[in-house]
Amino acid sequence: MSLGEWAIRKRVTTLTMTVILIVGGLFAYQSMGRLEDPEFTIKEALVITTYPGATAEEVTEEVTDRLESEIQQLGQLEKIKSVSTPGKSIITVEIKENYDKNTLPQVWDELRRKVGDAQANLPPGANSSVVVDDFGDVYGILYSVTADGYSYKELQDYVTFLRKELLLIPDVAKVTVWGEQQEAVFVEIPRAKLRQLGVTVKSVLDALKQRNLVSDAGNAHVGPEYIRIHPSGGITSVEDLGDIYVTDEGSGKLVYLSDLATITRGYIEPSKKIMRQDSTRALAVGISLASGGNIVDLGDRVTKRIAELDGSTPVGFEIKPVYFQPDYVTKAVDGFAVSLLEAVGIVIVILMIFMGLRSGLLIGAVLLITVCGSFIFMKMMDIQLQRISLGALIIALGMLVDNAIVVTEGMLIRIQQGEDKIAAARAVVAQTMWPLLGATVVAVMAFAAIGLSSDSTGEYCGSLFWVLLISLMLSWVTALTITPLLCEMFLHKGDGDGDADPYGSKLFRAYRGCLRACLNHRWVTVGALLALMFTSGYAMKYVDQMFFPASTQPQFFIDMWKPEGSDISAVSEDLKILEKKLAEDDRVEFTTTFVGSGAPRFMLVYAPEKEYPNYGQVIVTIKDYHDVPVMIEEYRNYTSQTFPEAFFKFKKVRLGPGRDDPIEVRFSGPDLEVLRALSLEAQNIFSENDNARGVRDDWRQKSKVIVPVLNEQAVRRAGLDRPDIANALKAAYVGMPVGVYREGDTLLPIVMRPPEEERSDVGSMNSVQVFSNVSNSMVPLGQLVSEVKTEFKNNSLHRRNRKLTITVSCEAKVGQPTTLFKELRPQIESMKLPAGYTMEWGGEYEDSTDAQAGLFATIPVTIVLMIIITIALFNALREPLIIWLTVPLAIIGVAWGLLAAGQPFGFMALLGFLSLMGMLIKNAIVLLDEINLQIREGKEPFTAVLDASVSRVRPVMMAASTTVLGMLPLLGDAFFVSMAVTIMAGLTFATVLTLIVVPTLYVILFKIREQAA
């Protein structure tokens, strides 16, 4: 008993399973997790170390290099990058692709141990390193909180309260606050007051350091009790600081601190981070989703909780979404669901046109059952509804009906010829079961390369393979079980004479005549096809190349870099002007500004910039994404005219992994000045190209440094050293932490500094007082230095894999970056590099190369498996050879389709091409199996080839039509459009040609000729 016969005879069981697939699928769909983009693990951690007072070169040599030396011993390390700036080292540790979110925590633990081992080798003055392993966390719900008419402290207190409340919500993993300022108590002492009252700075320091410290007074035995002793006398308010006595060791004078200093409470300046929402000072609150949670459900819970807190929120406080991923996810999933329904409708209509109303509806029902069943297994495998998984279902639709079409077509013909329905089911299923399985597995294997790829791109697109695997294999099962039962229930017998010719229509007769001519002129046919194929291959050179396209999200980013050494407040003031201009634009919904670093990572493909005081970013949210290109050009012109000294970069939201600079070239070597010279030469080459803009390098300009040149003899005579002078200068111009003020569970630093007018007077540097322990007196700096000069020094040094590396980047004004890259590449590669220096390409070229390398690493295995399957199906070599000779035909439709549609050949188009290969092989397998079957039944070989080919026209054309037209909804999706064009155009041409080429190659390899009548 065949599987089809069993399904008919056990119809109650079959129908029960059908109902389970439908109902279970609908419930699974409702409960599945939802995301905008598929998850992929950011396999990076940061190691941050501060080394106050050190230059960028000193940080590189004394901190970064020593840490990198230890970190590089990690066996899991892929690459290591670092940025060394004055006083800070930031090392980015990237782990190999074969480690995932489950194994990374162990890697980070080992990284911490390595970093801990390296601490003993760090220089005196360097602080302990901090390992940040949540750098890749995504805060998909990002709010701005503003407080019009309230102080910054009141805003910060409310945000602290809000954060505690949000952490209580189920499925909230983390809540981060961006833009908080460090509050402090400032003790401002004019130098004139110190001289007037005869008090030294050291006396003030000693007095402040001793107060409000937690000290252990011990315990006392009192009878059977052992009671703790805790003396009073702590400082309970900022005003109490003024009652501290300052004792001068030299003169013995006692002076109230309030007589010396102005004591205030404020925030440390300059600010490290500044945020504004629509030009109003704000704080950002980011919420991340717990693993396995549903972002849409979380969004509902967060929105509900904020509404509940409205009663306790003071009037004037506003909580506005900067980025609310649940809305984007709902819109994306709903849009794809509509596209899926449209595609299903298109497929069913095509089936009804080709096969009649009854057969079309029957196969359409099997399609819906298969899709519903697929949701059950997707739920079981924890595959969420997102851009890739839903797109995979749309891609699969046309292929899902292939198996059902073959079975229905076979049974329909036999039933019309009067054969018993159960006998027809038995015969058709027995005949097609294994060929369909082999063809289905081959179609799945065509996508296996992306599913097995271990890089970030493979992880991002991996659900494409798993969804296709689930749905296509399930379609094979439903085709052999549910389809025969539905055919038995709904298809009617013919008259029973069996004499009617089902292939007697004009279409079949025309194809038969055309095929006969091609077979009789076989070498002319092959020659024409080869010429067409090579012409199409040549045409591919005119198709643009790209990695991933930009998103259609109604947002864009404006990055601003002022010259190195710029104050963060100057960056903030300039961006206020830009914000005002944007506020006057009716196309703008709202703006969000981050100064000092990038925003929290609010979407997976957003890479936040590290902390730089001369950097700021404006996120512009607009009403219609179609306005993005026009607005970018308008504001590019505006910023270049309004802020000529600053560098601006405009960015669209990306789709998929990648980076912001599409064209990058890196130079590595030992000498800083040689690397800067190579960078300048490369920048000149870039700038000479009229299509290049945004030319820069990541070391940027050198920055000004004030250098007091010490008189070593005078310094030694005064009993001083370099740290003494550095501390005095820091106290004079920035302020010196001298103690801690305790307020409940909050610790505020006490900072001693001169008043604003003295701190901003660089010209009076020589009058800065330095305390000498030898003379027990203050010594003016002017007596300790020979001169004060200004120098230009490196402000940012980058290394890659422990080599100094400078990266030059640019972007294309028009067209794809690959076109500009092809123009620049020979010029850059012709540069003469000194011995010991290397050059390599980065940007989109590197990303695409790495992604394709990950893909092609698995392609040979999948192709070998596909070849083995085709050989096993036929237990021969000639049939598989025929199949694989048809694969290159796909290039014909792909080349002309992409050129006609104006679409580039990117990573998704490459995946489309690989899937096309599986579709062609599947069609060829079914056709060759029918030819062999008819020959085995005793037909004359040439007639068997003709008859078998004619009998496969409707299934093959129908399968191609459903696949091609079912992808129409994807043409409106920026991410899938190039893949859709590739499959639609390639399959259209290749299917027509397959119906000619496969029979032609068959008669050539098997030496079959038409017998004379």
188-246 pLDDT per residue, tens:
988 888 777 777 777 888 777 766 555 677 888 888 888 888 776 667 778 878 888 88
Element (DSSP H or E) covering residue 78 = strand 77-85
Per DSSP, the residues of 666-694 read: EEE-S-HHHHHHHHHHHHHHHHHSTTEEE
CB 8 within 8 A of CB 484: yes
- E strand residue ranges, 290-393: 317-324
Examine the domain organization and report whether 93 and 195 are in the same domain.
no
HEC per residue, 133-199: CCCCCCCCEEEEEEECCCCHHHHHHHHHHHHHHHCCCCCEEEEEEECCCCEEEEEECCHHHHHHHCC
Q: How far apart are CA 868 and CA 861, in angstroms?
A: 11
Q: Tokens at residue 161, please?
A: 């309260």
State mean pLDDT over 572-590. Answer: 95
- Nearest CA to 399 among 480, 487, 473? 473
Q: For residue 804, list its beta bridge partners.
A: 799
State mean pLDDT over 149-165. Answer: 92
CB 49 within 8 A of CB 132: no
Examine the domain organization and report whether 306 and 254 are in the same domain.
no
Q: What is the pLDDT of residue 1013?
A: 52
| pLDDT cut 90: percent of the chain above it | 43
Q: What is the pLDDT of residue 388?
A: 83
Examine the domain organization and report whether 623 and 534 are in the same domain.
no
The per-residue pLDDT of the chain, averaged, comes to 87
Q: What is the DSSP letter of 311?
A: G
Q: What is the pLDDT of residue 668?
A: 96
Pick the last residue of a domain from 587, 615, 650.
Answer: 650
Examine the domain organization and report whether 160 and 198 are in the same domain.
no
CB 615 within 8 A of CB 629: no
Q: How far apart are CA 1013 and CA 1011, in angstroms?
A: 6
The reply to whether 849 falls in a domain is no
Q: What is the pLDDT of residue 494?
A: 54
pLDDT band, residue 682 (cuts 50/70/90):
very high
Examine the domain organization and report whether 887 and 998 are in the same domain.
yes
- Nearest CA to 930 among 359, 406, 400, 408? 406
Q: Tokens at residue 26, please?
A: 């609908």
Q: What is the pLDDT of residue 952?
A: 83
Examine the domain organization and report whether 595 and 641 are in the same domain.
yes
Q: How far apart are CA 217 and CA 227, in angstroms?
A: 11
Helices then strands, counting H and E runs in the chain, come out as 32, 30
Peptide bond into 435 cis (omega under 30): no
pLDDT band, residue 497 (cuts 50/70/90):
very low
Question: Residue 179 maps to which CATH number?
Answer: 3.30.70.1320
| Max Cα–Cα distance, the chain, nearest Å | 132
| pLDDT cut 70: percent of the chain above it | 97
Q: How far apart are CA 134 and CA 706, in angstroms?
A: 37
CB 314 within 8 A of CB 155: no
Q: What is the pLDDT of residue 546?
A: 76
pLDDT band, residue 847 (cuts 50/70/90):
confident
The reply to whether 425 falls in a domain is yes
Q: How far apart are CA 984 and CA 961, in angstroms?
A: 9
Q: What is the DSSP letter of 411?
A: H
- Nearest CA to 905 among 362, 541, 637? 541
Question: Residue 986 maps to which CATH number?
Answer: 1.20.1640.10
Q: What are phi and psi of 939, to 5 degrees?
A: -70, 150
Examine the domain organization and report whether 174 and 284 are in the same domain.
yes
The reply to whether 557 falls in a domain is no
CA angle 468, 471, 475 (to 5 degrees): 130
Q: What is the pLDDT of residue 495?
A: 38
Pick the last residue of a domain from 650, 682, 713.
Answer: 650
The count of other CB atoms within 10 Å of the CB of residue 658 is 21
User: Which is more confident, 570 or 501?
Assistant: 570
Q: What is the pLDDT of residue 881?
A: 93
CA distances to 396, 597, 944 from 354, rounded to whole Å, are: 20, 60, 24
CB 279 within 8 A of CB 583: yes
Any idea which residue has 């983390």 for tokens? 174
The reply to whether 834 falls in a domain is no
Question: Residue 235 maps to which CATH number?
Answer: 3.30.2090.10
Buried b (16+ CB within 10 A) or exposed e, 228-238: eeeeeeebeeb
Per DSSP, the residues of 18-41 read: HHHHHHHHHHHHHHS-B-SS----
Whether the predicted pLDDT of 500 surpasses 60 = no
Examine the domain organization and report whether 601 and 514 are in the same domain.
no
β-pairing, 746-753 with 183-188?
parallel
Q: What are phi and psi of 283, to 5 degrees?
A: -125, 145
Whether the predicted pLDDT of 339 surpasses 80 = no
Q: Tokens at residue 57, please?
A: 């070169």
Identify residue 285 by its one-letter amino acid code: V
The three-class DSSP label of residue 779 is strand
The reply to whether 51 falls in a domain is yes
Element (DSSP H or E) covering residue 130 = strand 130-132
State mean pLDDT over 135-159. Answer: 90
Q: What is the pLDDT of residue 4?
A: 84
Q: How far apart are CA 1 and CA 426, in angstroms?
A: 7
Q: How far apart are CA 554 and CA 875, in angstroms?
A: 56
Radius of gyration of the chain (CA): 37
The reply to whether 158 falls in a domain is yes
Q: How many domains would you assign to the chain?
A: 6
Q: What is the pLDDT of residue 853?
A: 78
Examine the domain organization and report whether 158 and 203 are in the same domain.
no
Examine the domain organization and report whether 406 and 475 are in the same domain.
yes
Q: How far apart are CA 67 and CA 90, in angstroms?
A: 10
Examine the domain organization and report whether 50 and 167 are in the same domain.
no
Examine the domain organization and report whether 128 and 147 are in the same domain.
no
For 323-327, 372-376, 431-435, which range has the lowest pLDDT when averaged over its residues? 431-435
Q: What is the pLDDT of residue 210?
A: 66
Contacts for 360 with CB less than 8 Å, ≥ 6 apart: 348, 349, 350, 351, 352, 353, 354
- Nearest CA to 455 among 914, 829, 700, 97? 97
Q: For residue 187, list its beta bridge partners.
A: 263, 752
| pTM assigned to the model | 0.83
User: Which is more confident, 690 or 386?
Assistant: 690
The reply to whether 48 falls in a domain is yes
The reply to whether 744 falls in a domain is no
Q: What is the DSSP letter of 543?
A: S
Whether the predicted pLDDT of 747 surpasses 90 = no
Whether the predicted pLDDT of 452 surpasses 80 = no
Q: Please, what is the end-to-end C-alpha distance for the chain in angstroms?
A: 42
Q: How far apart are CA 483 and CA 14, in angstroms?
A: 10
CA pseudo-torsion sign 218, 222, 226, 231:
negative
Q: Which residue range is the domain that position 408 belongs to?
A: 1-31+356-492
Whether the predicted pLDDT of 109 surpasses 90 = yes
Q: Tokens at residue 212, please?
A: 């409000």
β-pairing, 588-595 with 615-622?
antiparallel
* Helix-strand-coil split of the chain, %, nearest 5: 55, 20, 25
The count of other CB atoms within 10 Å of the CB of residue 306 is 17
Q: How far apart are CA 878 and CA 276, in angstroms?
A: 70
Pick the last residue of a domain from 204, 238, 260.
Answer: 260
